Structure 1
Amino acid sequence: MSDTLDDDLYRRTKALLEPGDIDLDGLIVHTDLGSDEDLEMHELTVDLNEIIADHAGKGETYIYAGNDDTDFASNQFQGLTVEDDEFVWECQQLLREGTFDLVFYYEADTDQEALVADVEERGYRVTGVRGD
């Protein structure tokens, strides 16, 4: 992936972390998955859900696809707590130059360095993005 695309994706991700109701940080997971690898993309999203939820410390989560919500786009997902549907993370799967990048946003009180390190230890290419 070119540096220009990486820089552009980083800037766009950073813009989405602008101050709002919740302070957010994010990470970009770079993949080699193409548009014909839906099952692999689903498995990766589930794996990353478990990693992020563990670091967020909010308990058991599930992935909400928003298929019944017109405010959701395709390839947009949320990790919500099983107990009370509390926000844990949001993800957008972005197709760029034939492969997907997954952009995750989560509350900034998550230990960003530890989360990025854990994702990297599992063999994924990742870029951490701080909202501050």
Structure 2
Amino acid sequence: MTDAIDRDLYERTKALLEPGDIDLLGMVVHTDLAGQEDLEMHELTVALNEVIADHAEKGETYIYAGNDDTDFASNQFQGLTLDDEAFVWECQQLLRQGTFDLVFYYEAGVDQEALGADVAALDGVRDVTLVP
């Protein structure tokens, strides 16, 4: 986080993790994907869904886009379990300085360092900032 935009994104992400109904952790996934690489960003989001769900040990999940929900913004997604549609993660896809940053929130209890390492190993990921 060497510049003000990364610091601002980190601080805004951290503020969203304030205590609520469930304890959350988060991460900012900085990608090499340019603004015109929407399909690749979607594929990376699908891969991230699998990695986060695996670490959360919640079972099989699907990605909910919220197109039928006025409480959702564009580029906001949730990972929900197939069995009972329980929350696994939520993300925002942001275009920052010409590349996509994906901000994920998920229920606390995962091994944050191991999750971060697995995410960092995915194609298209430039860096991962973990948010406690």
Q: TM-score, normalised by structure 1?
A: 0.94
Aligned residues: 130
Secondary structure of 2:62 counterpart: strand
Q: Can you give the 5+ residue segments of structure 2 that lack an aligned partner in the other structure?
A: none
Superposition map of 1:49-128 within 5 A: 49-123=49-123, 124=125, 125-128=127-130
Distance of 2:120 and 2:63 partners within structure 1: 22
For residues 74 and 34 of structure 1, the distance between their equivalents in structure 2, rounded to whole angstroms, comes to: 18
Opposite residue 46 of structure 2, the aligned amino acid is: V
Taking only aligned residues, the RMSD between alpha carbons, in angstroms, comes to 1.3
Deviations 1:14-73 (A, max 9, x none): 001011001000011001222221110110000000000000000000000001110000
- Counterpart CA distance in 2 for 1:15 and 1:85 is 25
Looking at structure 1, the residues matched to 122 and 92 of structure 2 have their Cα atoms a distance apart, in angstroms, of 20
Query: 1:3: how far off?
Result: 1.5
Instruction: Flag structure 1 segments of 5+ consecutive residues without an equivalent.
Output: none
Q: Secondary structure at the match of 1:122?
A: coil
Distance 1:2 1:127 in 2: 12
Identity %: 77
